[in-house]
Structure 1
Amino acid sequence: MEILETAFMQRALIAAVLVGITAPAVGIYLVQRRQALMGDGIGHVALTGVGLGFLLSTNPIWMATVVSVAGAITMELIRAYGRTRGDIALAMLFYGGMAGGVLLINISDAGSTANLSSFLFGSLSTVSDEDLTAIAVLAAFVVLVSLGLRRQLFAISQDEEFARVTGLPVRALNLLIAVTAAVTVSVAMRVVGLLLVSALMVVPVAAAQQISRSFKATFAVAVGIGIAVTLAGTATSYYQDVPPGATIVLLAIAIFVTLTALATPLARRRARALEASEAECTMEGPGTRRPGDDVKV
């Protein structure tokens, strides 16, 4: 295949697969916690890390990871303790992160408007061997946390008070989710871009929820959708010369709309079947015996 003949596309496709796995794997917990826009905020903060990377002549991905992790921890602490002015503090953090990144990139010797655009919206040709190594290491961390602690993370995402009563370290797990989300932003920024990474963390999960009823099934379907749209978007970007991040997000939204359209009539059919079953049980009356009534537990 022509797309596999060039080294930069090989790197881009590998990075796309890693992003397709990690973004929904973390996004499912953010959706459950109703923090769907957290990735967007972290992306703003991560831009300062990118600017520092150019200014200090270091790898922008590693520097963005450090800054975004610090920003994510700050966001989680503000969420936990900043009950009155928390929204203002978060807004200042987001806007300050974006403004600081733009300023640092422009004053650095290696930075330029083209560099800024590639990090904001993704770029296939900019994924280097060093970037791919960083993405792979960070993606491995995200997958290990998302799968290894899935029961604990699911518990606090559903009900923090119940998780606290059962003895789980809720505060530490909340911080771990924030850190994992920050690492995911750093993983995805080369392919999807900092401004669009939040969509890839949320939309595949929302699409999977249309056709699945359990956490395990939703997790698997969301990751499958993530891999499919990142690969398809990367390939489309190569052949049609369109931005990869925007293409990936639009494909994810298209899948969400399609699954929603298919799931609506199925949900109505299930509701009618349930109503018919309940009506049949009511007509039988309390004295009617059925074969299952003689089964002992």
Structure 2
Amino acid sequence: MGSFTIQLGGFVGEMLGYTFMRRAFVAGVCIAFVAPLVGSFLVHRQLAMIGDTLAHAAFAGVAIGLFLSSVLGTVVSPYLAALVVAVVAALLIQILSEHTDVYNDVSMAIVLAGGFALGTVLISLTSGGIAVGINEYLFGSLSTLRRGDVEILVGLTVLVAAVVLLSYRKLLYVTFDESAAHIAGIDVDRMNRLLVVLTALVVVGAMQMMGVILVAAMLVVPVAAATQLARSFKHSLLLAIAAAQVAVLSGTTLSYAHGIAAGGTIVLVAIGVYLVAALVGRIGIPRLG
């Protein structure tokens, strides 16, 4: 046991000796906090797929940033471009839902397809020249996380957490009874727009580590695991954050230890946590909370 402890300590010390791994853990902890924080509202509103939709919109934003950099010969931040495009896409989804006969799933499908189509067209216009840069955002990477990226993610985490805290009661009211919230004088449309914009911020913030393809999973899977065990929304939210932290910390460590993709490993661990929670719920162990 003592030998194992020494070996484990040596492994952890070696891993944290690398600057990029320290950045990865800071980024991962932020993602594992803020993604289920927002995702809890989305899942209970049956909007789980909006994360995937905004991830594809963010893909278009990355392509726009890289395309403009290539054409103009100047540096246009793909990260900033993705943030702008994802927020615009989030508002577009909500506006389509509010002012047309298009239901949420249809508006999300339109934006998802449009975002991916725009990204692929821009890639083709450069004869694939920006494809290498886009791959970094499609699949995520630990080694390319820069200090500035992590600082932006920390800032987004603080911003999103503060907004959720200040709007918690209204968001909760709208989540579970939109009609009653409207009668109570809550601006439902404003709360809906706020939620989709927060989702866009989370998606873009987590994109560089998780990748566009997998980022939406962190909005949904930990929350799905938590709902198997919790009795109340608040306890579900806390359990979802705990499940996400387990997935991110374990997945990042396994990624370093075995040289495998971080985003995919994190999501697979999260799914494993969900399966365990579902099994525990199925065999009748009393729910938490």
TM-score range, shorter chain: 0.7 to 0.9
Q: What SS does the corresponding residue of 2:47 show, helix, strand or coil?
A: coil
RMSD (Å), alpha carbons: 2.1
> Of 224, 245, 251, which aligns to 2:242?
224
Percent identical? 35
Q: Does 2:266 match 1:248? A: yes
Residue 174 of structure 1 is matched in structure 2 by: 192
| Runs of 5+ unmatched residues, structure 1 | 271-297
Instruction: Report the counterpart of residue 49 of structure 2 in structure 1.
Output: 37
Superimposed CA distance per residue, residues 147-177 of structure 1 (whole angstroms, 9 cap, x where no aligned partner): 2211110110101100011111111111000
Q: Distance in 2 between matches of 1:111 and 1:137?
A: 32
Letter in 1 for 2:260: V
Of the three residues 14, 21, 24, the one matched with 1:9 is 21
> Which of 80, 83, 90 is the matching residue for 1:65?
83
Q: Tell me which moved more, 92-101 or 78-87.
A: 78-87
CA contact (8 A) 2:63 2:130 kept: no
Q: Distance in 1 between matches of 2:253 and 2:132?
A: 22
Partner of 1:21: 33
AA partner of residue 54 (structure 2): I
Hey, what's the Cα distance between the residues in 2 that align with 1:110 and 1:10?
33
In structure 2, what is the Cα distance between the partners aligned to 1:159 and 1:108?
48
1:13–1:234 CA contact under 8 A, matched in 2:
yes
Match of 2:5 in 1: none
Deviates more, 1:82-91 or 1:25-34: 82-91
| Alignment CA distance shift 1:202-1:113 (3 Å) | same
Report the counterpart of residue 200 of structure 1 in structure 2: 218
Report the Cα distance in structure 1 between the residues aligned to 2:23 and 2:257, rounded to whole angstroms.
16
Query: Which deviates further from its counterpart, 224-233 or 68-77?
Result: 224-233
Instruction: Provide structure 2 residue ranges, at least 5 long, that are not aligned to the other structure.
Output: 1-12, 70-74
Which of 149, 158, 169 is the equivalent residue of 1:151?
169
TM-score, normalised by the number of residues in structure 2: 0.87
Contact 2:50 2:108 in 1 (8 A): no
Q: Please say if residues 121 and 196 of structure 1, whose CA atoms lie closer than 8 Å, have aligned partners that are also in contact.
A: yes
Measured in 1, the distance between the counterparts of 2:24 and 2:123 equals 23
Counterpart AA for 1:255 = V
Length-normalised TM-score, structure 1: 0.85
- The alpha carbon displacement at 1:235 in A equals 1.4
Whether the aligned pair in 2 keeps the contact of 1:27 and 1:201 (CA below 8 Å) is yes
Count of equivalent residues: 269
Relative to structure 1, the CA distance from residue 235 to residue 115 in structure 2 (aligned partners, 3 Å threshold; closer, same or farther) is farther
Aligned with residue 150 of structure 2, among 132, 144, 150:
132
- Superposed displacement of residue 75, structure 1: 0.5
